[in-house]
Amino acid sequence: MPAQPQYYADYLALGNILQAQHPVSYQPGNDPAHDEMLFIIIHQAYELWFKQILHEVESVAGILEQPAINDNSPELQTIVHRLQRVNTIMKVLVQQMDIMETMTPMDFLDFRDLLRPASGFQSWQFKVLEARLGLPFEQRHGQHYYTSALRPEYVAMVKDAEGKPTLLQLLNNWLERIPFFEQDSLWQDMPAPTDAVAAPAGKFWEAYRQLLVQSLSEAEQGNLQVFDNVMGFDSSLSLNRLLSPKASRAALFIMLYRGYPLLQLPFQVMNAVLELDEQLSTWRYRHMNMVHRMIGSRIGTGGSTGKDYLKGAADKHYIFKDFAQLTSFLIERRKLPQLPAAVEQRIGFVHG
């Protein structure tokens, strides 16, 4: 059968999309508020972008869920590409606030009371996104009411997302599989440090720990105990991290030696999720400031505490903070331990 011709309006379902704006203020008995159309369209655009972001995140999760990933394959490049696309979309979401802020507080008051109890707080897609990325319920701000205003079917979607392996968990599992330190033969030629404090993970971390001690100022010496805990050398601290010691060691090693070809894509993966956290934080703070500008300290239409809730979420909802903490343990590139030839060959270009 020949393919049926596609027409622009039909393919995009413009008949449905362009008829999906129904300003409440234009209903009989109300005074029409011009800016309500803008308010609806902006929020619809947000939800469409949330849908696209979820589409990208689910595809990345699908790749990472595989039993094994070839770190020198197109799969890792696909992960990087799609995470970078998510970050570009997030930049658009932040910039979209500029359009929203062409509406003044008085313009918003023309129709605000007609919206109750509808609120952006009821965006189940955004709550699903946070859950799929790796925000655990225990770290949520406002746990007691974050799903209270949702319909039962949307609560079920959020809970279902919370029950799946998150992007953070999948990245943790992927990093744990990176086989740098379990193969003793790769490290046998590495010279032992002159004044090492024993580190259970082998020669490299003994040498690195010694160099880190030398690089820390007197005021930073507390970082050493944190380093030992994060790397799994000392469990006396309780840091409530979601990234395991084994994954943390792999991640820090990748940050340190990202110049080697095999580590470039893994570094870009980690850099992309750190940027995603930054973009989400920027969006939350921009949203908070916009709400403060519009309604001051008043309660949100959905019953939340408005600006105060948004500030609490912005301060608490950092998903990939365990990656960010690793930068506390970096030392200058020129002081890095010289890697054994076997390791350099493993992570460098192979010449035939």
Q: Which residues are annotated as a binding site for heme?
A: 287
For the four alpha carbons of 298, 302, 308 and 310, in that order, the dihedral sign comes to: negative
- DSSP string for residues in 207-249: HHHHHHHHHS-GGGTHHHHHHHHHTTS---S----SS-HHHHH
Cis status of the peptide bond prior to 117, with omega within 30 of 0: yes
- In the structure encoding, which two tokens stand for residue 66, read together? 């595989």
**Gap between the Cα atoms of 255 and 330, Å rounded:** 8
Quickly list H helices, 151-219.
152-162, 167-176, 184-187, 203-215
Residue 185, sorted as left (phi over 0), alpha (psi -120 to 50) or beta, turns out to be: alpha
Cα–Cα distance, 199 to 201 (Å, whole number): 6
Residue 197 DSSP label: P
Q: Could you tell me which residues are annotated as the binding site for substrate?
A: 39-43, 112, 301
| DSSP for residue 72 | T
The answer to whether the beta carbons of residues 249 and 231 sit under 8 Å apart is: yes
Distance CA 178, CA 143 (A): 36
- Residue 169 DSSP SS3: helix
- The Cα–Cα gap between 38 and 21 comes to 10
DSSP 271-285: HHHHHHHHHHHHHHH
Angle between helix axes 152-162 and 124-133 (nearest 10 degrees) is: 10
Which residues sit in the known binding site?
A: 39-43, 112, 287, 301
Q: Which amino acid is at 302?
A: G
122: CB partners within 8 A, 6+ apart: 149, 150, 154, 302
Q: Which has the closest alpha carbon to 155: 166, 164, 146, 144?
A: 146
